């Protein structure tokens, strides 16, 4: 849980800090925050069991001190530009000398004196190593070093952070969409952190990147929009154009549409179907909204169908029927971008896939392309079954 805690707390902190702040993870410490002025904050994170207390000789604290001390010495000691923070979900035990480090601005000399007393009582080999390293500092350096340390005890636990983000940083977003919005923001963030950890990305992550992403995602949850989350997604497994027996595919095959176009249709159907399911799970659709949208599509299809089929009659040959069907399908495929479920939902697969969903309805498709198709539907359904 501690490993997952790092990126989640980092996200919360970047949302709280100036946008110019940059972040690195697992560099000099668990987290490293840099300001535009060049000041660094090295942060150690400890996610402890509920109710844990931080005591005077807690190894968590003194191991972090050793990490910070190595950086302090290597960074020029008193001329160092670094501060040091321990984020711990534990609370400092009552009466503990470490309470001095949880109070910003407390006397550095008093901290140094208290630390020396505590280290003198310890029998821990681990803490002893820290004491040995501290002995390399002068009295002035010890006071300066201890003055840079801050313990933020009672830090948010991993499972409380999402609600904090919702309450403090998403207040301008409608309440009913804050949960799904945070999930998408954190999904993007975790992917970004993986790229940093694997070295795919070597540059620090800046606070303004989080702000920009949050703003972009929030736009998708406006009243005139819906989130698009299946762009670029593909169905599981291989797309088998030749053996796909779904009704919308049979309809296209009946028009002698090329396999490449049928494959595109299968992808559009998949994305639109899954996108609808996602919207429904997140309760983003108004009651009856999808049904009204489909009725609009059917009405527009019916109007264009009347134009395309106007010159056909019972005596028209199969070639004429197919040519008319291909023209009707081309219209649905390429000229219906304005038929949006909401004004700002412009993703093409939403409308193209919607037509395929309507063409796949059983027992009778709600849209069709070839005017002779319905007459052969019984036979085609037998094959599809």
Task: Give 319-333 pLDDT, tens digit per residue.
Answer: 999 999 999 999 999
| One pLDDT digit (tens) per residue for the chain, 385 residues | 889 999 999 999 999 999 999 999 999 999 999 988 889 999 999 999 999 999 999 998 999 999 999 999 999 999 999 999 999 999 999 999 999 999 988 999 999 999 999 999 998 988 999 999 999 999 999 999 999 999 999 999 999 999 999 999 999 898 889 999 999 999 999 999 999 999 999 999 999 999 999 999 999 999 899 999 999 999 999 999 999 999 999 999 999 999 999 999 999 999 999 999 999 999 999 999 999 999 999 999 999 999 999 999 888 889 999 999 999 999 999 999 999 999 999 999 999 999 999 999 988 899 999 988 877 776 655 544 3
Q: What value does the mean pLDDT of the chain take?
A: 94
- DSSP character at residue 20: T
Cβ neighbours around 325 below 10 Å, total = 25
* H/E run at residue 31: strand 31-34
Q: Judge contact between 370 and 327, C-beta under 8 A.
A: no
pLDDT of residue 2: 87
What is the reported pTM?
Answer: 0.79
Give the integer Cα–Cα distance in Å for 85 and 153: 10
Q: Measuring CA to CA, which residue among 143, 166, 180 is closest to residue 281?
A: 180
Query: Residues 6 or more apart from 110 whose CB is under 8 A from it?
Result: 100
Q: Could you report the per-residue pLDDT of 360-372, keeping only the tens digit for each?
A: 998 889 999 998 8
3-state secondary structure at position 358: helix
Per-residue model confidence (pLDDT) at position 279: 95
Q: How far apart are CA 273 and CA 41, in angstroms?
A: 47
User: Distance of alpha carbon 28 from its chain centroid, rounded?
Assistant: 26
Number of H helices, E strands in the chain: 14, 8
How large a percentage of the chain has pLDDT more than 90?
86
Tokens of residue 44, six digits:
């150690």
Q: Do the Cβ atoms of 150 and 86 come closer than 8 Å?
A: yes
Give the residue extent of every domain in the chain.
2-156, 247-384
Render 273-317 in DSSP notation, one character per residue. Answer: HHHHHHHHHTT-SPTTHHHHHHHHHHHHHHHHHHHHTTT--TT--
What local confidence, expressed as pLDDT, does residue 373 receive? 85
Q: Residue 146 contacts by C-beta under 8 Å, 6 or more apart in sequence?
A: 101, 108, 111, 112, 115
């Amino acid at each position: 849980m501690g490993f997952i805690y790092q990126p989640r707390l980092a996200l919360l902190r970047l949302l709280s800090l100036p946008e110019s702040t940059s972040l690195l993870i697992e560099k000099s410490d668990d987290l490293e925050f840099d300001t535009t002025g060049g000041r660094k904050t090295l942060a150690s994170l400890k996610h402890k069991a509920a109710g844990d207390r931080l005591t005077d000789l807690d190894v968590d604290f003194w191991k972090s001190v050793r990490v910070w001390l190595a950086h302090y010495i290597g960074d020029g000691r008193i001329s160092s530009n670094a501060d040091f923070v321990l984020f711990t979900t534990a609370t400092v035990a009552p009466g503990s000398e470490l309470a001095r480090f949880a109070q910003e601005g407390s006397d550095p000399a008093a901290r140094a004196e208290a630390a020396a007393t505590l280290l003198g009582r310890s029998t821990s080999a681990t803490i002893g190593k820290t004491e040995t390293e501290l002995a390399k500092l002068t009295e002035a350096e010890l006071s300066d070093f201890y003055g840079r340390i801050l313990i933020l005890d009672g830090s948010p636990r991993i499972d409380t952070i999402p609600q904090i983000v919702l309450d403090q940083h998403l207040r301008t977003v409608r309440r009913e969409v804050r949960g799904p919005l945070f999930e998408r923001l954190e999904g993007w963030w975790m992917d970004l952190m993986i790229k940093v950890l694997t070295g795919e990305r070597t540059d620090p992550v800046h606070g303004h990147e989080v702000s920009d992403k949050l703003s972009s995602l929030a736009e998708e949850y406006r009243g005139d929009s819906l989130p698009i989350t299946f762009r670029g997604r593909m169905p599981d497994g291989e797309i088998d154009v030749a053996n796909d027996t779904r009704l919308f595919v049979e309809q296209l095959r009946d028009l002698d549409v090329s396999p490449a176009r049928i494959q595109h249709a299968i992808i559009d159907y998949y994305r639109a179907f899954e996108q609808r399911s996602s919207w429904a799970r997140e309760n983003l659709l108004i009651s009856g909204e999808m049904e009204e949208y489909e009725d609009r599509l059917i009405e527009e299809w019916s109007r264009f169908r009347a134009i395309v089929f106007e010159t056909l009659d019972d005596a028209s040959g199969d070639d004429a029927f197919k040519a008319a069907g291909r023209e009707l399908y081309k219209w649905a495929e390429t000229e219906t971008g304005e038929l949006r479920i909401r004004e700002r939902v412009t993703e093409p697969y939403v409308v193209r896939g919607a037509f395929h969903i309507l063409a796949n309805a059983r027992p009778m498709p709600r849209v069709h392309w070839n005017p002779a198709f319905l007459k052969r539907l019984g036979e085609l359904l037998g094959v599809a079954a």
